[in-house]
Amino acid sequence: MATSVSEASVEYLTTTRIGKKGQITVPKEFRESLGLRKGAPFAVLRLGDGLMLLPEQQRFEQLCQRISSALVGAGAKPEDVLASLPEARKRIFARRYAAAGGSGTSAQKHAGARHRR
């Protein structure tokens, strides 16, 4: 579960330098404690004169929490959300593949056959 902003603490960790190619090194102990591996994606946010680095997993968890809170606040029940998925899937498929031949493409027919099984 993501830590909310009100639960988060600000603490000084370390000082690092920007390398020749603009790379920043995150010390090993912090990579390990946060479960970060080589190639881990980060969101870079500008806050006034500073930067905030957020591992993408944390950003995703925060987004999920915000969506969950919005759905609960709107009174949506899990079964209502799940029931809306087939229609939402159809709309997304039509929008994505309309330029590649519109509705009725073989890929869409195949996808429909999969859902009828």
Give the CATH number for residue 42. Answer: 2.10.260.10
Pair 67, 86 in one domain = no
Residue 60 has pLDDT above 80, yes or no: no
Distance CA(55)–CA(95), nearest Å, equals 31
Pair 55, 14 in one domain = yes
Pair 39, 83 in one domain = no
Residue 117 has pLDDT above 60, yes or no: no
Structure tokens at 74: 């709107």
* pTM: predicted TM-score of the whole model, two decimal places: 0.40
Domain that holds residue 100: 77-116
Residue 103 has pLDDT above 60, yes or no: no
Residue 19 DSSP symbol = -
Pair 17, 41 in one domain = yes
Which residue, 1, 19, 97, is CA-closest to 57?
1
The 10s digit of each residue's pLDDT in 3-38 is 444 456 677 778 888 999 999 888 898 888 888 888
Pair 21, 50 in one domain = yes
Residue 78 identity (one-letter amino acid): P
First to last CA, the chain: 35
If one counts the domains in the chain, the total is: 2
Pair 68, 25 in one domain = yes
